[in-house]
Amino acid sequence: MRTLELKETREEQHLENIGATPSTGNVFADFGLPDAEELLVKSSIAMKINNIIEKRHLSQTQAAAILGIPQPKVSMIQHGKLRGFSLEKLCHLVNLLGRDVDIVIKNRKSDGVGQMRVSYL
C-alpha cells in the first residue's frame, strides 16, 4: 500500500513540474471550444457507431450501405470529423445499426445549467 501512495505522490509532483492542468472531463471544454458539451456528446455517439462497425467487421463501404450515407461520410465519422452531422443524424445512424437511443430528461440535483451526456448499456 505504501508503494502505491509513493507512486501517486511522484505522479502528482511530475504533473506539477510540467505545469499540467487537471481535465474537466470534457476535452472540448478544456480547450475552451464553444458548444463543448454538444461536441462531447457527438463524439461519444460517433465512438459508439465506430465500435459497432468494428465489432461487425464492416468495411466503410458496407457500413455506408447500411447507414444510407456515402462511404466518405463513414470515413468522416471514423476520423472524428463530425461538423456536418447533427445529434439527430448521429442518433438515427445508431438506430440503423440496430441500437435503441433513449433520451432522458430529469431534474438536476443542484441549481444551474443542465448537462448532456451519453451512457451505454
pLDDT at residue 22, as a whole number: 78
Fold designation for 34-104+114-121: 434 Repressor (Amino-terminal Domain) (1.10.260)
Cell of 102: 433513449
Question: Could you report the per-residue pLDDT of 18-38, keeping only the tens digit for each?
Answer: 666 777 788 887 888 888 888
- pTM score, whole prediction: 0.74
Q: How confident is the model at residue 6 (pLDDT cuts 50, 70, 90)?
A: low
Domain locations along the chain: 34-104+114-121
Question: Could you report the per-residue pLDDT of 75-119, keeping only the tens digit for each?
Answer: 999 999 999 999 999 999 999 999 999 888 888 878 778 777 787
Given its phi and psi angles, is residue 117 left (phi above 0), alpha (psi -120 to 50 degrees) or beta?
A: beta
Q: Which amino acid is at 32?
A: G
